[in-house]
Structure 1
Amino acid sequence: MNAWIIHLIEQGGYAGIFLLMVLENVLPPIPSELIMGLGGIAVARGSMTFWPLLLVGTLGSTLGNYVWFLIGDRFGYLRLRPIVGRWGRWLTMDWSAVERATAFFQRHGQWVVFALRFSPLLRTMISLPAGLAHMSHARFLAFTFAGAAVWNTLLIHGGRLVARYLSAFEDAIGYGIVGLTGVVVLWYLWRVATWRPRD
């Protein structure tokens, strides 16, 4: 099972990694930990190399976050609120969550765009208030790229470390990957099913 999962990542190649990382930051529930971790295993197996993997993964993450930034920057508060009201269930966010994220951004400053790249729950959410605050595009992209590069480096190295134990724990790791993916999908479906707007 483990070899089959890794084979899917390898078959997609760098373009597949790029696309998955864009989607991971635009649509839930695809975890970057899984994508780049498996990429790290592919590096250890010799079917991918570190620097191209890091580059495409970081570019994909940056582009995905830039989508949310542009939505906030171009739409603004007045036009964005009815969109969140209509599609909030599928995004598992309501307007009060946007307001809380915006207040957090304003309270802590623009550096949080870099710092929150290491937060599984907030790294994408912070892009929207950064756009709403009309942060400099160049600065947003630089902070996002730098933070994502550090995070992806850690994930790739984590995958390379896991690869050392593949032969001894191949079945356990394979089932663990499937289990983690299933948990993330079920969590997202549960959020959608139980979602209630607070505002």
Structure 2
Amino acid sequence: MTESFFALITDYGVWIILASTYLSCLLVPIPSSMMMLAGGALVSVGDLVLWQVVLAAYAGAVLGDQSGFAIGQRSSKLLAQFTSDKPKRKALFTKAQKVVDTSGGIGVFFSTWLFAPLGPWVNIAAGAASMRWLRFTLWDAAGELVWVSIYIGLGYSFATSLSSIAEIASNAIGFVTAALIAILLGRWLLHRSV
């Protein structure tokens, strides 16, 4: 599968990276993290230019998040219809609303890279909750910088073993997520027992 990503990027250049990060932020199931890994690997062998890959991935991600935020601001009735007949969608959107309500900007920041599958939903929920645009944008831009840097950096650093790195990165993010949940749950239990 990795060869397919290399072929797409070789054929279409950084535009495919921009498109994949943009669309992935709008709930389109595209493996944009793998595209960034492949882009980083192609930079390491001299086929692509680092600043162009970073700019394309970052611009696509931020623009996709901004589009999701705008959808949330303007389409609350449509969102209700989109999530009402699908229990998984409704659960994800409800979880995203809770992240926005309880964590605000820091929730947006972590949803862009640490809890990436929830990210597009958080963007929409932030818009629907009328979060201030500037606050959303600053937290979102910082989080996307982390996401893009991690994946392009890993692709660049470990170009020869890209498949292994993709699996390790996925497991590492899962481990960090589990550790954060354990810490938060521990704090909550400690607070409840006092």
Q: Which amino acid aligns with 2:13?
A: G
TM-align CA RMSD: 2.6
Cα deviations across residues 160-185 of structure 1 (Å, max 9, x unaligned)? 1221447xxxxxx49x99xx9xxxxx
1:39-59 CA distance string (max 9 Å, x none): 111111111122221111011
Q: 1:98 to 1:74 in 2, by over 3 A?
A: same
Gaps spanning 5+ residues in structure 2: where? 171-194
Q: Which of 145, 149, 153 is 1:153 aligned to?
A: 149
| Runs of 4+ deviating beyond 3 Å | 1-5
- Determine the structure 2 residue equivalent to 1:139: 135
Residue 82 in structure 1 maps to residue 77 in structure 2? no
Answer yes or no: is 1:115 the counterpart of 2:110. yes
Distance 1:149 1:30 in 2: 19
C-alpha separation in 1, matches of 2:78 and 2:153: 42
| Partner deviation per Cα, 1:107-159 (whole Å, 9 max, x = no partner) | 11222111221223222221111011111223322222221111111101111
1:32 matched to 2:32? The reply is yes
In 2: Cα distance, 1:151 partner to 1:106 partner: 23
> How many residue pairs were aligned?
166
In the other structure, the counterpart of 1:12 is 12
> What are the within-5 Å matches in structure 2 for residues 164-179 of structure 1?
164-165=160-161, 173=163
What is the TM-score with the length of structure 2 in the denominator? 0.74
Higher helix share: 2
Separation in structure 2 between the aligned mates of residue 99 and residue 165 of structure 1, nearest angstrom: 38
Amino acid at match of 1:72: G
